[in-house]
Amino acid sequence: MLKNIFLIGGALLLTITNVQAQKFFTKTGRIDFNATTPSSPEKIEAVNKTVTCVLDVASGNIQFAVLIKGFTFERALMQEHFNENYLESDKFPKAEFKGVITNNSAVNYTKDGDYTVTVKGKLTLHGETREVESPGKISVKGGKISASASFTAVLGDYKVEVPTLVSDKVSKTTKITVACTLEPLKS
């Protein structure tokens, strides 16, 4: 009987610690992307500063979400084409990444410092999901965590069509840079 009570208590405690396991988040992360080629007449780049990210430091699980319509271009017409013709943001409003830091144990989240990590997971863009693996950096400083990574995505993999007329002016691969400063998530 007593043993059982201990067991229940233990299990409940485990549940509680699991719920309270530290998670960090932001809603103001930043993603830059660049699809400029040497023959592009104009810079093809955009920024989104409303990236959502949640990191579970216990498991190393990390997830991102971003609204396609939140990308700002220098040129309004490019932004229009990006939304209407390339990414079809009415049909596919969101891009998401769900992955894990494969060497999470190498990061000491309680100690200030920079850690090189590898992130692996699934990127969903334009309704297509692909495996992505990228080196990244985790910086811990004064209770805040900065996560950054840079990788390339092949437009064709996500069925983003570039018309033949401009095929040499838009890069087939885009460079995507993610930078988020995360704060503790109070649940």
Partner 1 sequence: MRRPTSIIRFALLLAMGLNASLALYAQDDLLSLLGEEKPKKQRVKYAFKSSRVINSHSMEFINPGTMDFRILHRFGSLDQGYKNFFGLDQASMRMSFDFGLLHNLMVGVGRSTYKKEVDAFIKYAPICQSTGPGSSPVTVALVSGITMDGLPWADPTRQNYFTSRLAYYNQLIIGRKFSEALSLQVMPTVVHKNLVQLATDKNDIVGLGFGGRLKLSKRMALTWDYTYVLDGLPETGYYNPLSFGIDIETGGHVFQLHVSNAVGMNERAFITETTGQWGQGQVRFGFNLSRMFQLKKSKLD
Strands in the chain per DSSP E: 23-36, 45-56, 61-67, 72-73, 94-101, 113-125, 128-141, 144-154, 170-184
**Smaller CB separation from partner 1, 16 or 112:** 16
- Residue 5 touches partner 1, criterion: CB under 8 A: yes
Residue 64-103 contact track with partner 1, rule CB under 8 A, x = bound: -x---x--xxxxxx-xxx-xxx----xx----x-------
- Residue 27 touches partner 1, criterion: CB under 8 A: yes
**Smaller CB separation from partner 1, 63 or 148:** 63
- Residue 167 touches partner 1, criterion: CB under 8 A: no
Task: Tell me the C-alpha distance between 40 and 154, whole Å.
Answer: 17
Residue with tokens 């007449």: 41
CA dihedral sign of residues 57, 26, 67, 172: negative
Residues 6+ apart with CB under 8 A from 108: 115, 140
- Residue 106 touches partner 1, criterion: CB under 8 A: no
Q: What is the 8-class DSSP label of residue 68?
A: G
Q: Under the rule (CB under 8 A), what is the footprint of partner 1? A: 1, 4-5, 7-8, 11-12, 14-15, 18-19, 21, 23, 25, 27, 32, 45-47, 52, 54-56, 59, 61-63, 65, 69, 72-77, 79-81, 83-85, 90-91, 96, 161, 163, 165-166, 169, 185, 187
